[in-house]
A and B are shown apart, each in its own frame.
Chain A
Amino acid sequence: MKWLFAMVAGLVLAAGVSAQEMSPDALIKSVTSDVLDIVRKDKDIQSGNTKKAIELVEAKVLPYFNFTHMTKLALARDWRNTTPAQQKILTDEFHALLVRTYSKALTEYKNQTIDYKPFKMQPGDTDVKVRTEIKQPGGKPIQLDYYLEKQERDWKVYDIEVGGISLILNYRESFANEVRQSGIDGLIQSLQAKNKSGEAASVKK
């Protein structure tokens, strides 16, 4: 079960990603260090204030994520059977779920440091992987890889792998299962229900 820990530690550091027309690796570096600098100084976030962490993620990280691509990846084949209206709701709900998960992970940050692996890219590349590693006391370093694609001029993250676990693909089976049992609208409903209960819980705290 060590991978569970790896995943959380990864999420914490994954919550950082900035800036336009930067190379993908420079982008990952700059956002990660921005976000971690803030978290290191913010006692509220460290003591579990999810709401504040969400604000930080929304301001610093979200501009560099492509949620439509993420949702498409998670739905796989089922994406083709959705209407544009359903696609919009699905993307919004999945977005909310991922943001809450990230922000929660950010509140668990405990002084891990991050190493950036050498990055290679061909001039024409539009789909790349940036490799990093999380160092932590008492354990094996955790692999943390970002997948980015180029959209017009900017690079956007469309998946993150923590210790080899893709945070987006990890939803595939449960989404497919939901669609098989109760259709696309069934999946929308369960995402909405999940987000509602998540929000309620974060307000209580």
Chain B
Amino acid sequence: MKKQIGEQITLFVCAVLLLSGCATTGNPKDPIEGFNRAVFGFNDALDQVVVRPVATGYDAVLPSPVKNGVANFFGNVADVFIAVNNLLQGKVPEAAGDAGRFVVNSTVGILGLFDVATDLGLEKHDEDFGQTFGRWGVGNGAYVVVPFFGPRTARDAVALVLDVKTDPVANVGHIPTRNTLLAVRVVSDRANLLPADKVIEEAALDKYSYIRDGYLQRRRNLIHDGNAPREQDD
């Protein structure tokens, strides 16, 4: 199953790269906009019907300490993956910090349920293979909306294959446990985003392009670790 996910994404990315040769709609950052809008519609529908209702229930039923514990647990697992990516980017002190976070939170923080490391001054980072490739100089490429996963750039979509392959949760050997963990993580992540729904609804003239442009700005910022030069004001 894990292998399948990786292969499916690879296939998808190849198909998109082929497609991007033909369809164009004006915006140079989003040459396959028609296709992307279709996938965005699919993801959005799936969210409305399944993911959001479950996340809303989760958010309403569980007390905050439990929800924070769950978010911290997955955040702790991710720190290993983040350490690897920081190392690949040559950011050794950051990687050491991530490793330190994992050790402290897994022990003192009781299997990662409590984020003690942040209180101790070990800052949490946000890294993935897409950022690593960006750091290495690989350009964004076209904007792509990936089924189930959402917005990516072509570079990030390729990197997603590696993200999934090296994701500690996706590599849990016991399949029912792995699937449960994956599902809980999706729900927990989505529940954290619930407040965003209403605001985006309020803010966006066109939800598709609002999310696209937000994603592209955010990725640019992350690759520069928060110090991206400002776009031209004109």
Contacts and interface: CB of A to CB of B under 8 A. Distances in A.
Contacts of A7: 196, 199, 214
Nearest to B217: A165
Interface stretch (B6-14, B168-176, B225-233): B225-233
Q: What is the size category of the interface that chain B forms with chain A?
A: 35 or more
A75 to B, nearest CB: 10
Interface in A153-184: 163-166, 169-175, 177-178, 180
Given A100-B202, A108-B199, A174 B213 contact: yes
Interface string A136-154: 0111110100000000000
Contacts of A165: 214, 217-218, 221
A165 B196 CA distance: 14
Contacts of B213: 169-170, 172-174
Given A138-B71, A166-B231, A2 B210 contact: no
Given A76-B234, A164-B221, A173-B27, A2 B205 contact: no
A104 B234 contact: no
B231 A169 contact: yes
Interface in B94-139: 115, 123-126
A101 B217 CA distance: 19
Contacts of B231: 166, 169
A3 interface: yes
Contacts of A172: 213
B29 to A, nearest CB: 8
Interface string B174-207: 0000000000000001001101101110111110
Chain B interface, DSSP helix/strand/loop, else mixed: helix
Given A139-B75, A140-B124, A173-B209, A3 B214 contact: yes
Interface stretch (A23-31, A57-65, A190-198): A190-198
B217 A164 contact: yes
Nearest to A167: B203
Nearest to B27: A173
A202 to B, nearest CB: 9
Given A165-B214, A178-B205, A5 B192 contact: yes
B140 interface: no
A137 B69 CA distance: 10
Contacts of A105: 199
Interface in B61-111: 67-68, 71-72, 75
Contact of A198 (B27, B189, B202): B202
B220 A4 contact: no
Contacts of A3: 214-215, 218
A5 B193 contact: yes
Given A8-B196, A8-B199, A170-B213, A194 B205 contact: yes
B26 interface: yes
B222 A164 contact: yes
A11 interface: yes
Contacts of A6: 218
Given A169-B217, A174-B210, A5 B199 contact: no
Given A1-B150, A4-B200, A77-B234, A108 B214 contact: no
A191 B205 contact: yes
Contacts of B215: 3
A173 B204 CA distance: 12
Given A108-B198, A175-B205, 12 more contacts: A3-B218, A4-B196, A7-B214, A101-B202, A104-B199, A138-B68, A139-B71, A165-B221, A169-B217, A169-B231, A173-B27, A190-B205
Interface of B: 26-27, 67-68, 71-72, 75, 115, 123-126, 150-151, 189, 192-193, 195-196, 198-200, 202-206, 209-215, 217-218, 220-222, 224, 226, 228, 230-231, 233-234
Interface of A: 1-9, 11, 73, 76-77, 97, 100-101, 104-105, 108, 110, 137-141, 143, 163-166, 169-175, 177-178, 180, 190-191, 194, 198
